[in-house]
Structure 1
Amino acid sequence: MPPSFDNKVALITGAGSGIGRATAIKLASLGASLALCDINYDNLESTKKQCGSVPTLLEDVDVSSKQEVEQFIKKTLEKYSHIDHVFNCAGVNPTSIPLEETTDEYWDKLVNTNLKGVFNVTRGVIPHLKSGSSVVNVSSISGIRGSAQQAVYCTTKFGLIGFSKCMALELGPRGIRTNVVAPGYIDTPTNAGIVKGGEAVTRMINGNALGRLGTAEEVADVVVFLFGEESRYMNGAVLEIDGGIKMSSTTAK
């Protein structure tokens, strides 16, 4: 019997496409009420249509902005009065750039979204989470092993794992769990390899033992598992969703 998320509220960042959208749709099918944000409001509206009739709040939010995040959380509480689960999925995927050619602007863009964004959301929701609540953050296989010419992206994803493990220790005594998913080669619209197409996609397909790309829905299944009772003793875990990755420099997620 599938888990039920009736009367549960899930806050999801980066819900306009890919893994964030797939997770919203999955949770909606299980009865959750949703608070969804993204920088692209049109994409959010498309996500909402695919979530059916469940209560849904949509908000245009840049997670790197403390003010916008706090306003989103405030509106979520005004609509639902509580928050049960948080999925920090908003992020910027990498561009391969040698470090000596990396600009301050590129550093700021990735760090402010991928790392500071998770900090902003997590800090903002903590006062409103109760025992039984949970947080799932999206890292990457690039947060576990380095990739040449992706130093900034890897820094954010390694850092996110460290941040999450600290939150697991800090919030665990309050009954609030924090876990991480680390996707590999996933077929999402923002995956740099998918955008390039051709040989880049072939390299990704051949880059894992299953010989195919993963889907956003397969990642969403793991996120929902981490929110559910079946994972109630998992805290500070990092789950690699990569099909059995091989050593490769191909872009992940």
Structure 2
Amino acid sequence: MKTASDGAALAVPQPLAGKVAVVTGATGGLGRSIAKAFADAGANVVLVARDAAALGVLADEIGPTSSTMPVDLGNLSTLSELLGSLRRVDILVNNAGTNRPMPFEQVTSEDFDHLMNLNLRGAFFAAQAVLDSMPRGGVILNIGSQMGHVGAKNRTVYCATKHGLEGLTKALAVELAPRGIRVVSLAPTFVETPMTRPMFADATFRDEVLSRIPMGQLGQPEDIAAAAVFLASDAARMVTGTSLLIDGGWTAQ
């Protein structure tokens, strides 16, 4: 075996070698980072999102270990049909989600339904759709938020969906444990992505957020992706029904 002293690159560990991983919301900042990290870890990645063109670009970046599945998670019949057609799924990452920050009194029923449908309903039925394709030892990762553990102004619906996702994680973990399927949530703090970067251009907002994070820095997509690889791997074989907070200490206060 070559070693670093031989002047050759060391083999990169591939803890997900041979696994089939489905990542929803794959073209967003977090989804893209998770999908790439999974591919680097040896997984064959099924990229799921609405934008077929963006999926194609990401698939080209990842290479032949990826495939695309353009689907709107709000369309349950299509979602169930397409995900249910997969012969094998080892890992499902329920990453698709959204937010519409606004004062409680301004929330409309359309706002409420939109967030509930994508953040919670979509995750529920995506998991249901792949269940028959999961072998013993499958993993479902729900990408939640620190807001699934605390409350915040202007985020009543978002917090409700993410708290709901935590409840779903616990209940599914108990119910699916006899089938050898683990269910875990990841709960990031504010993460710097192309979608959130304009928010942090507001110095007042950025300073307020950073003042709540004891480590004094925003999360990066790679932080979440690294945690997802660990939780999806056999190294985390006894981890289920819980949430991994990746929040720089926000919820410790």
TM-score (norm 2): 0.89
CA offset at residue 243 of structure 1?
Answer: 1.0
CA offset at residue 193 of structure 1?
Answer: 6.3
Contact 2:119 / 2:162 at 8 angstroms: preserved in 1? yes
Q: Name the structure 1 match of 2:13.
A: 2
Letter in 2 for 1:49: D
Q: Name the structure 1 match of 2:98.
A: 92
Encode CA deviations 1:138-197: one digit per residue, 9 max, x unaligned.
111111001122111111000000011000000011100000000101111223863653
CA offset at residue 99 of structure 1?
Answer: 2.0
Residue-pair matches, total: 242
Q: Name the structure 2 match of 1:106.
A: 111
Structure 1: runs of 5+ lacking an equivalent: 249-253
Q: Name the structure 2 match of 1:72.
A: 82
Q: Name the structure 1 match of 2:187.
A: 182
Q: Name the structure 2 match of 1:170.
A: 175
State the Cα RMSD in Å: 1.9
Contact 2:84 / 2:129 at 8 angstroms: preserved in 1? no
Change (3 A) 1:28 1:172: same
* Structure with greater Cα Rg: 2
1:17 and 2:23 are equivalent in the alignment: no
Q: Which of residues 206, 225, 230 in structure 2 aligns to 1:225? A: 230
Comparing 220-229 with 41-50, greater Cα deviation is found at 41-50
Comparing 57-66 with 233-242, greater Cα deviation is found at 57-66
Q: Name the structure 2 match of 1:27.
A: 38
Q: Name the structure 2 match of 1:251.
A: none
1:46 and 2:57 are equivalent in the alignment: yes
1:147 and 2:157 are equivalent in the alignment: no
Letter in 2 for 1:243: G
Q: Name the structure 2 match of 1:134.
A: 139
TM-score (norm 1): 0.89
CA offset at residue 203 of structure 1?
Answer: 2.4
**SS at 1:43's partner residue?**
helix
Distance 1:88 1:158 in 2: 15
Q: Name the structure 2 match of 1:214.
A: 219
Change (3 A) 1:46 1:184: same
CA offset at residue 126 of structure 1?
Answer: 1.1
Contact 2:187 / 2:244 at 8 angstroms: preserved in 1? yes
Distance 2:178 2:202 in 1: 46
Change (3 A) 1:201 1:45: farther
Contact 1:14 / 1:38 at 8 angstroms: preserved in 2? yes
Distance 1:176 1:234 in 2: 11
Contact 1:93 / 1:190 at 8 angstroms: preserved in 2? no
Contact 1:188 / 1:194 at 8 angstroms: preserved in 2? no
Contact 2:16 / 2:43 at 8 angstroms: preserved in 1? yes
Structure 2: runs of 5+ lacking an equivalent: 1-11
Letter in 2 for 1:22: S
CA offset at residue 72 of structure 1?
Answer: 2.5
